[in-house]
Amino acid sequence: MVEDYAIGCRFRPSEEELLYLLRDKVTNPRFQYDQVKEKKLYGEGASPWNVFSDDDLQRELFDDNGSNGNKRMVYVFTELNKLSAKKAARTAGSGTWDGEAKITTIQDMITGEQIGKRKMLSYVLHSGSEVKKGRWIMHEYAFAGACLNGIGSSIHNTD
């Protein structure tokens, strides 16, 4: 992936920064940010290895602790398919994005007010599916109080 960064720089936004990018995207659909892709993550044919190319995924050579890692990561905007006010359709190609029950709140670092929430999901193949392309983890971000279908996500793939 060719980046427009100086040597040694990389795109690693905080959760708070991701939420503000999401807010800008939801309030202005023409808003574009080159480092956050717009992708369809749910529905037929939306298995992560079909959605993302090698050009989309930037390789993280070190994890947050400075240890060697082999993680590929991408940040995306997507639309969530709501089944009801509290339930979303997370089927994607030959599997499903399956989430934890725990939802983490994210606060503004200055005001301390809740600005959003994060949920972790793992891509789980449907039974009988033979395709396996590494382990896929998504952190799904939603802006607090928004009744909107737009979400932001950071997605990791470990080969």
What was the pLDDT predicted at 2? 44
Q: Please indicate, yes or no, if residue 2 is contained in any of the structural domains.
A: no
Q: Please indicate, yes or no, if residue 7 is contained in any of the structural domains.
A: no
Q: Please indicate, yes or no, if residue 1 is contained in any of the structural domains.
A: no
Integer-rounded Cα Rg, in Å, for the chain is 16
- pTM, two decimals, is 0.77
Q: Please indicate, yes or no, if residue 90 is contained in any of the structural domains.
A: yes
DSSP-H helix ranges across the chain: 15-27, 48-51
The continuous run of DSSP H or E covering 68 comes out as: strand 68-79
Q: Please indicate, yes or no, if residue 4 is contained in any of the structural domains.
A: no
What CATH code is carried by the domain that includes residue 140?
2.170.150.80
Phi-psi region of 146 (alpha: psi -120 to 50; beta: other; left: phi over 0): beta
Q: Please indicate, yes or no, if residue 146 is contained in any of the structural domains.
A: yes
Q: Please indicate, yes or no, if residue 43 is contained in any of the structural domains.
A: yes
- What integer is the mean pLDDT of 133-156? 74
Tokens 């998504």 — which residue?
A: 138
User: In the numeric block, which tokens belong to residue 37?
Assistant: 């892709």
What was the pLDDT predicted at 105? 92
Q: Which amino acid is at 30?
A: R
Q: Which amino acid is at 84?
A: S
What was the pLDDT predicted at 126? 85
Q: Which amino acid is at 1?
A: M
- What integer is the mean pLDDT of 117-135? 80
The continuous run of DSSP H or E covering 150 comes out as: strand 150-158
pLDDT in tens, 60-118: 544 555 555 666 778 888 888 888 877 888 899 989 998 877 889 999 999 999 998 99
What was the pLDDT predicted at 62? 47
Where in the sequence is the domain holding 138, given as residue range(s)?
15-158
What was the pLDDT predicted at 99? 84
Q: Please indicate, yes or no, if residue 9 is contained in any of the structural domains.
A: no
How many domains are contained in the chain?
1
